Amino acid sequence: MASNKREAIKSSQLFWNASDAQIDRVVALCKEQLFEAGVRILSEGDPSPNFYIVESGKIALEMEIRIGSRTKRQAIIDVIEKNGVFGWSALTDLPVHSMSATASESSTLLVFDGQSARRLCDEDSDLDHKVMQELVKLVSDRLSQAKRTLAHVLSVTSHDLRAPLATVQSSLDTVIGGFAGDINIKQKELLSGGKQRISDLLNMIDNLLDISYVEIRATDFENMDLSEVVAISIGDVAGIAQEKAIGLRSSIPAALPETLGIKKRLRQVLTNLLSNAVKFTAPGGIVTVTAKETDDKIELYVSDTGIGIPPEELPRIFGDFYRGMKVDAEGAGLGLSIAKKIVEAHGGSIWAVSPDPETGKGTKFGVSLPRILEPSKAQAGEEPEAVAGARILVTDDDPEMRGITALILESQGYEVRTAGDGEEALAKVEEEEPDLLVLDLLMPNMDGFEVCKRLEERRDRGGKRIPVIILSAVREESSRRRYELETETEFDIEDYVTKPISPPVLLQRVEKALMKGKAVGATSLSIIKGGKQWTSKSES
């Protein structure tokens, strides 16, 4: 029986990376217990003094969902199978379980007292480190699973709501168009009003889906010209602006510097800002779109001469379902919240000021997006130093994240190799030194912290310094604090990017790191990417 326990623990999500001696100490903490199908093991919201490893069987994690003011339902969020862990909050100082756990079939579980496990981790810092690493991944995986479940439920719900409404809208179009016989003017007006309300409802359904799960995939990003998106967005609102006799003015250049983005999503942002500007501007007013370029950003502005936003409401306008208290306008208060999520997924920011500082009227919204460096030409008689296809080593234990990161970098012409853990990364560094290492921190076998220590030792022995960008779900402050406590030295890295990946931000940081590493003492540096020559000034 003890051997079965040991095998289950060694194969579990939390302890697979522990040593044999550590596994022996963990085995002594647990007891084996059988739970028949239908038995409730944990109840939502109750303290959880124990955590569990599934030796056999299946455990359903459930959460109470309220539908309306009276109806409650239990929804299954995840199913934990062999070697899975649940009740993990018992390992922390906040042992409150947020979900219920019920045996969906006869299941054998290894039951651990949380307090004893915490005491063991306090005594063994190496085990504590390994367990906390896996705990972060476990929580991240469960959050991703919950998001996927929510997205699936919402997409199915959206379809089930849209389908009958689309049929009703098509029927109204048929009647209004006179294809089912003549109707009088009054009937046509009533039917047109009903059609508009259905259209508003369909838009609200789309927004509800977006607010819960704005799907921004790294593979959807492409080099794009924002001036084209601005022109299309202005066209989207031109009709309603004309009806209200509102002037639409644009001073956007014919071609802005390129940015990396998803056209339909950025169009959604700009159309929302423009339609809001038209909605809250009185007839005869003006809505203006302008742009400004900096070394690394493109800023777009939408200004109006409307009613403005009270100062006390400005900090809240990007919140979910927030609608202004002093205006009577239709909508669910989702547009700006969705716009913020989309802009931030592009590595940018969005803000508002009211009144517009330049006119003293209305509101001015700003959107800032990272730009791609413009193509440059060598000056007469000068040949710029070329770094054709810079070599980048991407190290991450998550195959999907590793693939996405490599895909983003390869799209810009970089030569990318990958590694699944720290040991493999160091081996590949010895095979061929990369120009840059993109490194995850929490990995099995050898984590990113240890890789950085080994690279530092390598440099002390006369090796070349390899620039490092950390790409991790862990916050930068806590990572730096840990490294500095362990080594009593500063965390010598080029940059720190927090997951999830924003492709424009990652590419910008990579370019900056490569330029810093390759252009020491140079006045300019060119990087050949995707068949184009991109140049940036560097410090001597």
C-alpha dihedral sign at 135, 127, 396, 79: negative
Percent of the chain with pLDDT over 90: 28
- What is residue 66's predicted lDDT score, i.e. its pLDDT? 57
β partners of residue 293: 298
Q: Which run of H or of E encompasses 33?
A: strand 30-35
pLDDT tops 70 at residue 94: no
- At 118, list the tokens: 């915490």
pLDDT tops 90 at residue 372: no
CATH number belonging to the domain at 2-123, selected among 2.30.110.10, 3.90.550.10, 2.60.120.10, 3.40.50.300: 2.60.120.10
pLDDT tops 80 at residue 461: yes
- At 232, list the tokens: 């299309």
The answer to whether 213 and 151 are in contact (CB under 8 A) is yes
Q: Span 486-495, mean pLDDT?
A: 88
- What is residue 449's predicted lDDT score, i.e. its pLDDT? 92
pLDDT tops 70 at residue 210: no
Place of tokens 């802009």: 343
Greater pLDDT, 533 or 484: 484
pLDDT tops 80 at residue 271: yes
State pLDDT tens for residues 442-454: 888 899 999 999 9
- Annotate 86-148 with DSSP letters as a single string: E-GGGGSS--B--SEEEESS-EEEEEEEHHHHHHHHHH-HHHHHHHHHHHHHHHHHHHHHHHH
Q: Backbone phi, then psi, for 147, in 5-degree steps? A: -65, -40
Nearest one of 506, 532, 510, 534 to 218, comparing CA atoms: 506
> CA–CA separation, 404 vs 352, rounded Å?
33
- What is residue 277's predicted lDDT score, i.e. its pLDDT? 92
pLDDT tops 60 at residue 523: no
State pLDDT tens for residues 434-443: 999 999 998 8
C-alpha dihedral sign at 161, 167, 169, 170: positive
**Strand order across the 532-537 sheet:** 386-388, 524-529, 532-537
> CA–CA separation, 159 vs 295, rounded Å?
44
Average pLDDT taken over every residue of the chain: 80
- What is residue 218's predicted lDDT score, i.e. its pLDDT? 63
> CA–CA separation, 308 vs 323, rounded Å?
13
Greater pLDDT, 79 or 381: 79
Greater pLDDT, 258 or 127: 127
Percent of the chain with pLDDT over 70: 80
Greater pLDDT, 281 or 327: 281
- At 93, list the tokens: 């100082």
Q: Backbone phi, then psi, for 316, in 5-degree steps? A: -110, -5
- At 255, list the tokens: 């071609």
- What is residue 382's predicted lDDT score, i.e. its pLDDT? 38
**Strand order across the 59-67 sheet:** 40-42, 100-103, 59-67, 71-80
Strand pairing report for 50-56 and 107-113? antiparallel
pLDDT tops 70 at residue 116: yes
- What is residue 221's predicted lDDT score, i.e. its pLDDT? 77
- What is residue 448's predicted lDDT score, i.e. its pLDDT? 92
Q: Backbone phi, then psi, for 465, in 5-degree steps? A: -75, 125
Give the pTM. 0.51
Instruction: Specify whether domain 219-370 bears CATH 3.90.1530.10.
Output: no
State pLDDT tens for residues 28-41: 999 999 999 999 99
Q: Backbone phi, then psi, for 79, in 5-degree steps? A: -125, 125
- What is residue 508's predicted lDDT score, i.e. its pLDDT? 81
SS3 446: coil
pLDDT tops 80 at residue 97: no
State pLDDT tens for residues 373-399: 544 333 333 333 434 578 999 999 988
Q: Report, at the CATH architecture level, how domain 386-537 is classified.
A: 3-Layer(aba) Sandwich (3.40)
> Could you tell me which residues come within 8 angstroms of residue 76 by beta carbon, excluding any fewer than 6 positions away?
60, 61, 62
In terms of Cβ atoms closer than 10 Å to its own Cβ (0-12, 13-18, 19+), residue 388 is: exposed
- Annotate 169-190 with DSSP letters as a single string: HHHHHHHHTTBTB---HHHHHH
The answer to whether 20 and 81 are in contact (CB under 8 A) is no
**Strand order across the 286-293 sheet:** 247-250, 286-293, 297-304, 364-370, 349-353
